Structure formats: C-alpha cells, structure tokens
Amino acid sequence: MSSLTVVLAITALRRNDIRRSRIWLLSTALLGAIFVGGQVYEFTAFYREGLGYTTNLFGTAFFTLTGFHGVHVTVGIIFLMSMYIQSMRGKLTSAQEERLEIIGLYWHFVDVVWIVIFTIVYLFPQ
Amino acid sequence: MTTIENKELEESWVKQDWVYIKTALILAFFTAIEVFTYFESVHKAPEWLLVTTLSFLMVVKFFLVAGVFMHLKDDNSVFTKMMTMGMCIAWPVYFIMAFALGFLPDWNVIIKVLFLFLPPGVAGFWLGFSFKGGDGGHH
C-alpha cells in the first residue's frame, strides 16, 4: 500500500498539487512507521518466548533479514519526512520532482525486497 | 498552454493514477491469496505445490511493483532484461542455499531440479530470443 501512496505523492507533486503531495507523503511515512512498530512488537514477543539472535540458525537468519529490512524502512521514513519538511518550507515544488522520484524508487526497492522476505520467511512451509 | 491541452493533461494524470490504484488492488489480491495459504486447511496441501504457488506469486508481485511503480515497463527494455538476468541467477542460488540449510522441505530430487532450473530456464530462453541480432557484421 505504501508503494501506492508514494507514487500518488509523486504524481501530485508533478501536477504541482503540493497539499495532496504532502498528505500522501505523510501517509507513506505513517504506513512505514506502522510497519516498523509491528516489527518492534514482533521482535520483543519472539525474544520473550525464547527466540534470540543466537538461539539457532532460524533466529539468526530471521533477525538479520527482517532487522536489516526494518533499518531500510526507517531510513526511508527519514527521507520522506525530510521531503515533507522541505515541502512545508516551500522548497519542494514540481521543479524538484526528481528528488521525490528518487526517494520513491528507494521506497519501491525496499517494498520489492519485502515481497521476497515475506514469502520466504513467513509463508513457506518449514 | 490552452484550456484543451490543460484538460488533456489533467485526464492523462487521472488515468495514470488509476493505473497505480488498479495495480495496488491486484497486489492486495495476490497478497490475500498468499496469506490464505497460511490457514491450516490450505497449509496441508502438498509442500511442493505451496512453495511453487507462493514463489510464482512472489515473482509476479515483484515484477508488478518494478514494472508499474518503478516504471520499468516504460523504460528501455534492456533494464527489464538486466533485471530478469539477475533473477535467473538469484533464483537457483537462493533456493540451493535454502535446500542445503534445510529451510525448505526435502523433496524428490526431480521436483527439486525442476523447481530450481525450470523458471530461470524459461526466462533465459525468453531473454535469448528477445535479443535482436544484427546483420552479423562488425561495426
């Protein structure tokens, strides 16, 4: 879903609809924050139930894969918020659309990586 | 810019937004199918069938995001070919490791070989035929 909101932010900026672009930017950052919050909850729950980073091979693979992904999402949220702040200061208009386009590509890349991680780590029968 | 040109531009933007929304809905539908396989009744299906279905959906979703949201479909086709080449290498490398480490069920060796090499093989054939040869001369 956040891939959709980020492209809508880009297209809104392209047509110089700054207000909508800000709304979609914030929505994307919020969806990312919900994802990271879910990860924090999940990591805490697993740790309390005895699955740590060094417990077994699965624990190491799980925390490394999903942890690195969480870090990338957090970096993406920082990028998005910096764009939002620039927009609020009037420094993000359709003339600077390329900046948001590049951040959008980063966000989509993080998204496609999650598509693979989600299937392999969470859904494949073990 | 004239009013008619403005209207046409606005219509093209709305059309583009709808393409994105429809893609997101398709992705949501595929994700719902994936999550549905987690239910116990479906989870009892043969493992090779589950893994193959989930892998197929994973690749389709991957290409949808890359093709539409990352506008790969509108870029030069060489980028699509480069990505497919990467996928052809990544697929067997990742799954050989997953089998070796015991992350995936220990299937019959024929199913394993088919699973590992059939998808990249098909994609490889497509790549091979999609490259347009020149007249054979050196430039």
Q: pLDDT tens across A54-86, in order?
A: 888 888 888 998 999 999 999 999 999 999 998
The pLDDT score that the predictor gives to residue B1 is 59
The pLDDT score that the predictor gives to residue B21 is 93
Measured between CA atoms, the residue of chain A closest to residue B87 is: A116
Nearest to A80 by CA among A14, A11, A32: A32
A91 touches chain B (CB under 8 A): no
Last residue of a domain, one of B74, B103, B122: B74
Do B44 and B8 share a structural domain? Answer: yes
Last residue of a domain, one of B74, B106, B122: B74
- Chain-chain contact of B20 with A111 (C-beta, under 8 angstroms): no
A126 touches chain B (CB under 8 A): yes
Do B45 and B87 share a structural domain? Answer: no
SS3 A7: helix
**CA quadruple B120, B121, B122, B128: dihedral sign:** positive
Domain that residue B126 falls in: 76-131
- Chain-chain contact of B20 with A109 (C-beta, under 8 angstroms): no
Contact between A103 and A85 under an 8 Å Cβ cutoff? The reply is no
Q: Average pLDDT in the A11-17 region?
A: 87
Q: Which of A115, A118, A120 sits opposite B65 (nearest CB)?
A: A115
Do B1 and B61 share a structural domain? Answer: yes
Do B103 and B65 share a structural domain? Answer: no
Q: Is residue B136 part of a domain?
A: no
Q: Please list every residue in chain B whose beta carbon sits closer than 8 Å to the beta carbon of residue A120.
A: 58, 98, 103
In the predicted model, is pLDDT for residue B127 greater than 50?
yes
Q: Please list every residue in chain B whose beta carbon sits closer than 8 Å to the beta carbon of residue A61.
A: 103
The pLDDT score that the predictor gives to residue A17 is 85
B61 touches chain A (CB under 8 A): yes
Residues near A67 by beta carbon (within 8 Å), at least 6 away in sequence:
A43
Domain A2-123 belongs to what topology? Four Helix Bundle (Hemerythrin (Met), subunit A) (1.20.120)
Q: Average pLDDT in the B95-108 region?
A: 78
**What does the pLDDT look like over B23-67, one tens digit per residue?**
999 999 999 998 888 776 666 777 778 888 888 899 899 889 988
Distance from CA of A121 to the nearest CA of B (A): 9
The pLDDT score that the predictor gives to residue B42 is 67
In the predicted model, is pLDDT for residue B132 greater than 80?
no
The pLDDT score that the predictor gives to residue B136 is 46
Nearest to B40 by CA among A122, A125, A118, A121: A125
The pLDDT score that the predictor gives to residue A6 is 92
- Chain-chain contact of B98 with A120 (C-beta, under 8 angstroms): yes
Confidence band, pLDDT 50/70/90 cuts, at residue B119: confident
pLDDT more than 90, % of chain A: 56
Residue the block writes with tokens 């209207």: B7
Q: Please list every residue in chain B whose beta carbon sits closer than 8 Å to the beta carbon of residue A100.
A: none
B59 touches chain A (CB under 8 A): no
The ipTM of this complex is 0.85
Q: For chain B, what is the domain count?
A: 2
Best mutation target, B9, B65, B72, to test chain A (most A CBs within 10 A)? B65
Do B54 and B31 share a structural domain? Answer: yes
Cα gap A115→A112, rounded to integer Å: 5
How high is the mean pLDDT of chain B? 81
Last residue of a domain, one of B55, B74, B93: B74
Contact between B112 and B99 under an 8 Å Cβ cutoff? The reply is yes
Decide which of A86 and B99 is more confident: A86
Q: Average pLDDT in the B79-108 region?
A: 82
Radius of gyration, CA atoms only, chain B: 20
The pLDDT score that the predictor gives to residue B61 is 92
How high is the mean pLDDT of chain A? 90
Do B68 and B1 share a structural domain? Answer: yes
The pLDDT score that the predictor gives to residue B133 is 53
The pLDDT score that the predictor gives to residue B138 is 47
Do B23 and B87 share a structural domain? Answer: no
In the predicted model, is pLDDT for residue B139 greater than 50?
no
Do B37 and B84 share a structural domain? Answer: no
